[in-house]
Structure 1
Amino acid sequence: MKQHLWINGQHIEAENYQDLQSPYSKELLAEVAIAGQDQVKAAVDAASEAIGKMNDLPAHKRAEILLRTANLLSERKEEAAAIIAKEAAKPIKTARAEVDRTVMTYTFAAEEARRLNGETISMDAAPGGENRTAYTVREPIGVIGAITPFNFPMNLVAHKLGPAFAAGNTVVLKPATQTPLSSYFIGQLFHEAGLPEGALNIVTGKGSEIGKYFTSDERIKALTFTGSPDVGKTLKKQAGMRKTLLELGSNSAVIVGDDVDVSKVAPRCVTGAFAYAGQVCISVQRIYVHENVFDEFVQKAVEETKKLKFGNPLDEETDVSSLISGDDVDRAISWIKEAAETGAAIACGGKSEDNQIVLPTILLNVSSDVNLSCQEAFAPIVIINSFKDFDEAIEEVNNSRYGLQAGVFTNQVDLAFQAAKALHVGGVMINDIPTFRVDHMPYGGVKDSGFGREGIKYAIEELTELKLISFNHTKL
């Protein structure tokens, strides 16, 4: 099939198309349109012209459209999950969970659309403010350029579209090259739900070219991007005065104290490390375990890892399937070899199989200066090191260019509060893995993990302008 662009409520043909294959089976899924500059401009034209239509929609109408979209997606859950499983090689049971989360994300957006409130300002709190009443309102910022990654092709798109539409904005969406079908599917659902034509436009093609257009067209008032730090930094430099919301990389860490039940903590960490083959921004990549329970923790973690089943993402039993590309497989294996050559022990995994599958890998006693310690693996690889002092563990977690989320397992309240204060990250999960996320919580990082926060309420704040209105009561 040919997948055309989606502009101004219509499928628009492009001059060129490229083949989209399943990462696992290499099956041809579609021929996907490559947008030229004229098509990207047409998408921005449509989004700009639709601002008036969105502004005319009262909050309850925007909420109804978002809720109808959530309901339509829920009704077509299996179809949506199959699209994700095929184009992203995400195990079908994990794909279903993503669809469920996406439904919830749009539901939260519908609720937030109804409570987009300002506040009353006590003007007479300052001398000269007497006889005045003032309040704030939040207004839509306008056209938003959104760029999304491959790993959550429906839910991370929802984290762009949901807040944007709840606030009354319009969007030009550029989905990941490997996973565009999920976005086009959602675009059709929004159309069926009654979203005004032009409010959502979807363009596929080369990310660098579309991103450059986004930063050159002054009608685009905000950029929201989830992806690599290097691309995010480039967009930020090019964005100028535009609002920019960046959700970038991580190499999330966990601290495991010696006072916890290792038989409960180790399986949780394995889940955080290997869900969707580690291709999650907040995958567990580094685990620091107290030396008193290190051997027991490693044993339990290896046991749990060996229970995982890998293979076809459409198989109901599959836990781990293909990485998104062959280049990612090569990089992952080279980083494992680098760590082993510098003294790390491979406790399990460490190699790849057919269909771009990297076996879930645990490495022990990994040097702090190799790629697996310093960079984002985005593969089913986790390192486990020991520590003696809690301060040492905190220092190791903070010894990173990233700071998205971290996890701490301890039953000692003083240590939990110490970690919550000392860890330089956007979110600290006490007695849980950093991979934990629910879709209404504030989510974002520090350092090279980006800035700004997602989570519907918080993203709406990023994608609106605050206006102050003040009335002077003096009769003129």
Structure 2
Amino acid sequence: MSLKSHFKTLVPGASSSAGSLEVTAPFDGSVIGSVELADAAAVEQALDIAAALHADVSQRLPAWQRISILKKAAGLLTERAEDFALESAREGGKPLIDSRAEVSRAIDGIHCCIETIRTQHGEEIPMGLNPASAHRLAFSSHEPIGPVLAYSAFNHPMNLIIHQVFPAIATGCPVIVKPASDTPLSCFRLVELLHEAGLPPAWCQALAIKDRGLATATVGDRRIAFFTFIGSGKVGWMLRSKLAPGTRCALEHGGAAPVIMDDTADLNLAAPLLAKGAFYHAGQVCVSVQRIFAPSTMIRELADKLAAEAARMKVGDPTLEEVAIGPLIRTKELERVEKWVEEAIAAGAKLHSGGKRFSSTCYGPTILIDPPPACSVSSEEIFGPVVCLYSYEDLEEAIDRANHVPYSFQASVFSQNMDTIFRAYRRLNAKTVMVNDHTAFRVDWMPFAGLRESGLGIGGIPHTISDMQIEKSLIFQSPSL
């Protein structure tokens, strides 16, 4: 089937004079669609609709109806999975094989929302434990927190919408979503799919905002109860400072994921996993493998094995079955990655393999050995297909170096030694530590969080649903209790 390629602002009754946003494929720059841009009047209308909807308790959707809508949405997405995957690959540049996996995850994520509705519940609050609480019975239940505003990122154009928008639907919160300007089509398709599944359009509104001042001002609106942001730390922390008093938020930013290896690590197991974790989606993943610390005696062998894996990963058009590494999202990002690699080499890093453009939009998988700590590739999130190997003589020193960045997200350790594994687990600055696996592993029901400058709050669908609710208590007092 042919999917729709132009979208009007999805705000009931709104019109806009802001023009349209043209969407181009990052691989070849071809125009693949467009989205109407929202002006200030359209944004105001969306906020009014969401606030009024939440304020009218009689309009709230009961749990059985939310479950029914989500079930139908999962069924529709299953029927159209291949079309959604292909269009997502074109729009975001993630290879088709990985875009298919993203669609599969999206379907599973919708089912995870349904399961959480079915299993999440309040609890009895103990009373009668002291004289003051005698003759009382108390319990809690959950209610939607209020209107949700979601600002999303480009790198997982479907799953990030599943993570941010579908939990709001599951909780019964009206939600307004602004997708990344590079990848709005997947978002609008998913929102229209929700409407097709029976969700009244006012409950999920989508709009594209080009005006940064308008986007920033919207975040600070007092009608917003919860703000969810996925994107750069610089933007996310700035937007958090604009929130109105009382607005809750969740932020998910990037990292510079470390891997610790010791001399018992199985390199034949590690190499394909680390190559996938480093070069998947051209490294444009917040928990991509970036910094690998290994004993100096194994650095050369590890680099050779990683290079062999990289050589098997075809670079090019993300819509082709055989391609494993697609383009960077924008030309300026390719130029930045190229500059950072050149800077590291000039500072003394050894270029083991790669280090050059594959085309005007693709950068080849690159392996650097021992770039100095002050280089951008060592101290900042690369967000490109580059991995850095660092040799060490002392494990404690390696862990200290791994922790010497302001980011903390996911990490991993490769070892057959339990003492090394637990040492790394206890000492690494990370929310999650993988053992004998790459840093980019995730399932959508696990807690997923960036700490320090990498984010705020706990992601993962059940945790996001919890964030978008209030737990409200009811306390009875009676002499008969």
TM above 0.5: yes
Partner letter of residue 77 of structure 2? L
Return the offset for 1:459: 0.8
| Kept after mapping to 2: 8 A contact 1:116/1:167 | no
Question: What is residue 433 of structure 1 aligned with on the other side?
Answer: 438
Q: Deviations along 1:255-297, whole A, 9 cap, x unmatched?
A: 1111121011011100000000000111101111122322221
Flag the 1:446–1:320 CA change in 2: closer, same or farther, 3 A: same
In 2: Cα distance, 1:413 partner to 1:347 partner: 31
| Equivalences for residues 103-114 of structure 1 within 5 A | 103-114=107-118
| Kept after mapping to 1: 8 A contact 2:326/2:362 | yes
Query: Size of the alignment, in residue pairs?
Result: 475
Question: What is residue 477 of structure 2 aligned with on the other side?
Answer: 472
The alignment status of 1:234 with 2:232, answered yes or no, reads: no
| Kept after mapping to 1: 8 A contact 2:16/2:42 | no
Question: What is residue 25 of structure 1 aligned with on the other side?
Answer: 28
SS in 1 for 2:148: strand
User: Which runs of 4 or more aligned residues in structure 1 lie more than 6 Å from their structure 2 counterparts after TM superposition?
Assistant: none
Q: Deviations along 1:62-113, whole A, 9 cap, x unmatched?
A: 1221121111111100110111111111111111111001111111001111
Question: What is residue 69 of structure 1 aligned with on the other side?
Answer: 73
The alignment status of 1:147 with 2:147, answered yes or no, reads: no
Partner letter of residue 60 of structure 1? W
Flag the 1:375–1:407 CA change in 2: closer, same or farther, 3 A: same
Question: What is residue 193 of structure 2 aligned with on the other side?
Answer: 189
Return the offset for 1:357: 0.4
The alignment status of 1:263 with 2:262, answered yes or no, reads: no
| Kept after mapping to 2: 8 A contact 1:4/1:11 | no
CA RMSD in angstroms, aligned pairs only = 1.7
In 2: Cα distance, 1:401 partner to 1:323 partner: 24
| Equivalences for residues 188-267 of structure 1 within 5 A | 188-206=192-210, 208-241=212-245, 242-267=247-272
Work out which of the residue numbers 295, 298, 304 in structure 2 matches 1:299: 304
Unpaired runs of 5+ residues, structure 2, are none
| Kept after mapping to 2: 8 A contact 1:175/1:183 | yes
In 1: Cα distance, 2:358 partner to 2:297 partner: 35
Q: Deviations along 1:99-134, whole A, 9 cap, x unmatched?
A: 001111111001111223111111223441111111
Return the offset for 1:253: 1.0
Return the offset for 1:50: 2.9
Question: What is residue 169 of structure 1 aligned with on the other side?
Answer: 173
The alignment status of 1:382 with 2:359, answered yes or no, reads: no
Unpaired runs of 5+ residues, structure 1, are none
In 1: Cα distance, 2:287 partner to 2:17 partner: 36
- Name which of structure 1's ranges 444-453 and 62-71 shifts more when overlaid on structure 2: 62-71
Return the offset for 1:53: 7.2
Question: What is residue 426 of structure 2 aligned with on the other side?
Answer: 421
Flag the 1:126–1:240 CA change in 2: closer, same or farther, 3 A: farther
Question: What is residue 59 of structure 1 aligned with on the other side?
Answer: 63
| Kept after mapping to 1: 8 A contact 2:103/2:159 | yes
Question: What is residue 159 of structure 1 aligned with on the other side?
Answer: 163
| Kept after mapping to 1: 8 A contact 2:53/2:60 | no
| Kept after mapping to 1: 8 A contact 2:74/2:111 | yes
User: What TM-score does the superposition give when structure 1 sets the normalisation length?
Assistant: 0.96
Q: Deviations along 1:344-393, whole A, 9 cap, x unmatched?
A: 01111111132410111100011111100111111101101111222122
Partner letter of residue 424 of structure 1? N
Q: Deviations along 1:281-318, whole A, 9 cap, x unmatched?
A: 11101111122322221111111111110111111100
SS in 1 for 2:177: strand
Seq. identity, %: 35
User: What TM-score does the superposition give when structure 2 sets the normalisation length?
Assistant: 0.95
Return the offset for 1:210: 4.3
| Kept after mapping to 1: 8 A contact 2:260/2:294 | yes
The alignment status of 1:130 with 2:145, answered yes or no, reads: no
SS in 2 for 1:310: coil
The alignment status of 1:80 with 2:79, answered yes or no, reads: no
Question: What is residue 411 of structure 1 aligned with on the other side?
Answer: 416
Question: What is residue 43 of structure 1 aligned with on the other side?
Answer: 46
| Kept after mapping to 2: 8 A contact 1:313/1:321 | yes
In 1: Cα distance, 2:437 partner to 2:58 partner: 40
Partner letter of residue 425 of structure 2? A
SS in 2 for 1:97: helix
